[in-house]
Amino acid sequence: MRTELHRDQPDDRSTTFTVTVDRDDLSLTETPLGVVVRLTDFATGGAPGHPALPVTRVRIAAPDGQWPIGLTVEREKWTRATRGLTFVAPAQHARPAARITHVHCDADCSCRREDRAPIDSGFPAPPIVPPDVDAYLAAAEEPPPVVRSAGIETVGGIRIAVIEISPVRMTRKAVLELCTAVTVTVQFGPEPAIDDREAAAAEFRERFGDAFDEQRLQLLPEALPVTETESVRLRDVVRGSVLNPEVVGKIELDWPRFEFPSAYVIVTDDYTWNPMTLTRGAPRPGVVAQFERLAQAKRARGITARVVTITEILDGRWGDFRTGSRDLAEVIRRFLVAKRQDWGISWLLVGGDVSIVPARQAAGGMLGTVAVGTNAKPDNGQSFWTGAHLRIHAQALGDWWGNSVDNRLTRISDGTLIPYDAAGTSGSASPGWYFTTGDDYATRSATPTEWIRVEGPQSLVATPLQFLYAWNTIPTDFYYASLSSFLIGTRRIDIGFFSFTLPWVYVPEHAWDAAGNGLYGQNHADGTDIDGVVLRTDLSVGRAPVEDAAQAAVFVDKTLAYERAGGVWGLLADRDWPRRMVLVSSDWGGRTFLWPTAAATPGDNQFVTQAGQNRALLKLTAAPADYTWDLIARITETDRRELPFKTDPSASVRGWYYAMSATDARPSAIRIPLFFTTLTFPVPSPWIVVHGAAAERAPQAYEFNPQGAEGSMADQERLRKQIRSEVPGIDRFSRHYEDERDLSWFDRWSAPVQYLTESGLRGGLDAAPHLVSLSGHGSQSGVAHLSTGMAAALRNGTPGFIGYADSCLTNGFDASDAMGEALLLNGAGGAVGYVGNTRFSWIGVGDDFQRAFFHRLASTRHLGLLNDSRVGVFGSTGYWSGYDRWQIFSLNLLGDPELRVYRAAFPRLVLEADLGHGLLRVTIERAEPVPGRPGDPGPVEGALVHVRAVDGHGEEVVLETDADGIAKLPRKLRGRAVEVTASHGDAAVSVLELAGRDG
């Protein structure tokens, strides 16, 4: 997709741009379940069961003081994308990128044979959602407009029009059309009138009833920066996200009077803490002292910084944040809300693992759901109202499901908590749930079972419900990043073609818990908020997952080594280090072999040749969860025949289809009448019927194999090309792919690539890359052969790489040392920063967040701001937005949020001292006239030089170099032992220690 701004606008009351799409960028993949439509730079998706078509969003910033008020679409150019009948595959639920076991073997392992590959299949995917007939009819009858308003965003007072583009549509004749060009004009106007308070109060009063407190109703607050540097960073982020960055000027400040400015705050302690009772636990002496070193290094670069202990917060040194708080996380958050204004906080480092500084446990809107059923003995995942109580069959309600008294049952519509009845006191007027001994739901069970009985009024319990359990409850530090919490009215105000939400908001008593039930961050599967979570980052947050002073020292040493690029004899000598990136991919899924059996009915992953019916009957373990599969008859080692998918069950037609069952060979399918034709949609089942030549009905084995390049590898290749285009200074790629054989010829030769093995990956990581991107099924113990053990044993040297994993659980810091923690705490290598998921990632969703992270590197260097990009992805992945909200909670940063990521071979500052004259000189290497041979150093004007006495008196002074690169040392510091720190622009920080006259 290309976008071109029209520069001939007569005034600033409108902005016009043209979107162009190349036909060659459109990919139509035939699958057994329909055509998968993909378009470069677009996400393919939709509501489950609806046609999955490409969509993307672009943003246009309004001039200062203006609002988007109108949208004009013209000069649409459409072309046929298909000729005959085309059935678009329906959108599906996202699939968790988790795994049960590790792939254990290398390419030369004795267990690695063609018929026994190391399959790592992950968790069972949700079942295929069949097409919604009404949705397909509506898509053909009234296709969505190619361009529509998706709302208005506000960043620092700047109004941004969000515009959704849908360039592919279905016609009534089941033909696809592509819009190759369209011109869009956004009109701007003055601020609209605000709706009256009473309308908002009535809305919230209806929702909360007697619990509504009108004093908590207020106008939608503006999120304005509180420091000049924050304003500049915010401006750069906005410029990087809109098509018209030139209209984004200086962002207005909310000018506070700082009692003591601290842009960078570290919250830590020398003790562990009980987060519920707010009582001290085991001592951790020396942790605070180590983080004081980091704060001092920040101040040496001109960043105001301080360390704050939990003890000080609870003792009320800066105010009473304890009264009215439920737990320690709320105490810390209330402290941050107040001190962000008083101190101008921009960066927060959470200084400790969860035993020292807790994370908030947020509710995921996915998994654990219970639908209302009609069977007196309900099927798994369904309920039944008997007229007196509710029955729930909870055999397996989600990935890693486990029945437990710690699970929490909620009503989906409004988040109401139905408590576990431990005492046996629940009844028709007193809601509660408990386990029973069997499917008659009559006898209470003291131990968990799959049969659950719910007491309470029908209006409360006979409705869709959700269990929150260990694996859809998400540990998140986003609670400390988003410091506003309010519910926005559901009514919307229209401004021409645009709309925004009712500007009156309700602020809950406890942040992130508007439902008032002690659960935090509840939301619906479609992403709709229940609890007042504002998807905005007020602070950039990172965590140092340390348990003691030794680990804290490792964290601080690596952070400082990165800022200083390892020192004079460290990475500065390796000019290519910032340019190097390793890309790793293990397959989301693998091929399945089906073997012959003499039994009349085949078992899982078996087949039987039924000569009398001229067919073979195959049995998979479960129905496939996606479309892109091929069936291959392996006659011999060298004779492998791909069989076509078919819908005709006739034995005279060669191919295969999904059958109804072992005893019903009819095609498993539904029919959709679409105006002048009828489309047949195959419904996957575990049963497959094969027709063809005799050898094809009785081969050595069948291979059920994914089509084309594996999805994880395709995601990594898309990321590689994006980085090469957007951040050209990062250009030395090496790749470790499990599916490397399916790379195109051109892609294979674009950068070194090898088959993913444990030994090969270890060698690639020990070679000291700067950036590492990982993709594949994960767990807390690792992903793609990078296990916790390997992470702790890497010897790539300090400071280590910056890693990002699109996989599940690798950053589960609530467990005892997940893989991400092991990388950070490795003093001989590993990582200096790591972004990964504390819970599940979602295939097809997580890669959008990954690309957004690296896309922002083109406009900002700070590691925390890169991870903050996840908020902007909400609503744009093509899946239900509940998956997006989940990822925002789950993606957490381990590392320093202010860390400036190198984007190319960095310049080197040279710091010299003329002690006799009290002069400090800062120069910088010029561009290399000959590769490998730096040019003559030149003076640096405006370099920040921080001088600190280290002889116990603690004097500090900040200087700035003149046009000759000179800064004069004050007389009071001459002759004394001092530490000098120089910083400037993109250059690595340089530190020089000068001994006193007696040193």
pLDDT interval class at 105 (50, 70, 90): very low
CB 466 within 8 A of CB 369: yes
CB 86 within 8 A of CB 175: yes
pLDDT tens digits along 309-360: 999 999 999 999 999 999 999 999 999 999 998 898 999 999 999 999 999 9
Q: Which residues pair with 349 in a beta bridge?
A: 266, 542
Which residue is associated with the tokens 């069959």? 393
Radius of gyration of the chain (CA): 30
- 793: tokens are 């044993």
Q: Which residues pair with 451 in a beta bridge?
A: 393
Q: How many CB atoms lie within 10 A of CB 413?
A: 11
Provide φ and ψ at 292, rounded to 5°: -60, -35
Residue 962: DSSP 8-state? -
Residue 782, burial from CB neighbour count under 10 angstroms (0-12, 13-18, 19+)? buried
Segments making up each domain of the chain, as ranges: 2-189, 195-220+485-533, 256-358, 367-471, 546-589+710-894, 596-706, 909-994
pLDDT tens digits along 884-897: 999 999 999 999 99
Which helix or strand (DSSP H or E) is residue 790 part of?
A: helix 788-793
Residue among 85, 88, 71, 48 nearest 169 (CA): 88
- 133: tokens are 């007939």
Residue 392 has pLDDT above 60, yes or no: yes
Q: How many CB atoms lie within 10 A of CB 108?
A: 8
Predicted TM-score of the model (pTM)? 0.82
Which CATH number is 546-589+710-894's, of 3.20.20.70, 3.40.1280.10, 3.90.45.10, 3.40.50.1460?
3.40.50.1460
SS3 234: helix
CA distance 683 to 650: 18
Q: What is the pLDDT of residue 112?
A: 31
Cα 622 from chain centre: 29
* 2-189 and 546-589+710-894 have identical folds: no
- 37: tokens are 């439509």
Q: How many CB atoms lie within 10 A of CB 130?
A: 17
In CATH terms, the fold of domain 2-189 is Immunoglobulin-like (2.60.40)
CA angle 75/77/81 to nearest 5° reads 165
SS3 928: coil
Lowest average pLDDT, out of 101-110, 669-678, 743-752, goes to 101-110
Q: How many CB atoms lie within 10 A of CB 561?
A: 18
909-994 carries CATH number 1.20.1530: no
Q: What is the pLDDT of residue 381?
A: 94
Distances (CA, A) of 801 to 618, 794, 831, 882: 47, 11, 5, 31
pLDDT tens digits along 466-497: 999 999 999 999 999 999 998 876 555 555 56
Can you state the angle between helices 549-563 and 287-300, rounded to 10 degrees?
20
CA distance 657 to 666: 9
Residue among 364, 431, 762, 732 nearest 579 (CA): 732
- Contacting residues for 103 by C-beta, under 8 A, at least 6 apart: 118, 120, 586, 785
Identity of the amino acid at 100: I
Q: What is the pLDDT of residue 624?
A: 84
Residue 100 has pLDDT above 50, yes or no: no
Residue 873: DSSP 8-state? G
Distances (CA, A) of 466 to 360, 378, 506, 541, 798: 20, 16, 25, 30, 46
Q: What is the pLDDT of residue 125?
A: 55
- Please give the mean pLDDT across all residues of the chain: 87
pLDDT tens digits along 915-957: 778 888 888 765 444 445 455 678 888 889 988 888 776 788 8
pLDDT tens digits along 703-744: 888 777 778 999 999 999 999 999 999 999 999 998 887 888
What is the distance in angstroms between the CA of the first residue and the CA of the last residue of the chain? 64
CA distance 427 to 584: 55
